[in-house]
Amino acid sequence: MEMARIACEDKILQIYYIGLKILSTALAPPVCGKDVSPKLINKVLKEFTPLLIEKISELNYRARDISLHTLLSVFKHPAAKLSTLMNSCLDMCRMDPNFPSLFVPVDKQQWRFILSRLEIILQIIEEFGYNEREWNWKEVFDLILAPSLFHSNNDIRVLAIEIIVALYEMIGEEVKVEVNNLENLKPNLLQQINERMEDSKEVADKNQVN
């Protein structure tokens, strides 16, 4: 794992890719067998997750796609806690009370940093669903989704809407209420979101029954 970490921190992509392969191999059987504790597995994931998220934020699309695939695949390990991945996505959206002057609001941050985290969050929802024991949808909504609707980058707004609709299909009317309670949201954007949720109402209702 130490070799994988060193390789993943390298600026040369070929070395970085080798680091990803080492990481994936080390976290899968037979290397990572039942003798490896869940605590140790999650400790390793907590160290590697920020590195991979940083690569997903880069403009090299091949590195981004491979990093995203690897990140999601290692979190499919039965012992992996999705809360680690979600918290890493939200870290830059939280204000540090010790350094409030350094905080940059989500809608003012560089688009590639926010877009990459939204991409990961959408993948989490699509591949793993929603587990309230692992992460809280309201926190995700408040910290990154709602602020993203005010970002100047259209791709970020579009992706935020996709995630909101995905959450609406799983959570139901609570998500709709939060959207409609947002202040200063452009009327046309609010209408667009409500129309998307209305189109997904049948799915949302069915999920609530189940």
Scanning the structure block, which residue is given the tokens 């921190």? 9
Mean pLDDT of 4-26: 92
Residues in Cβ contact with 159 at an 8 Å cutoff, skipping those fewer than 6 apart: 115, 118, 119, 122, 148
Mean pLDDT of 121-125: 96
pLDDT of residue 97: 87
The residue ranges of every structural domain in the chain are 1-80, 100-210
pLDDT in tens, 141-180: 999 999 999 999 999 999 999 999 999 999 999 999 999 9
Lowest mean pLDDT of 33-37, 42-46, 47-51, name the range: 33-37
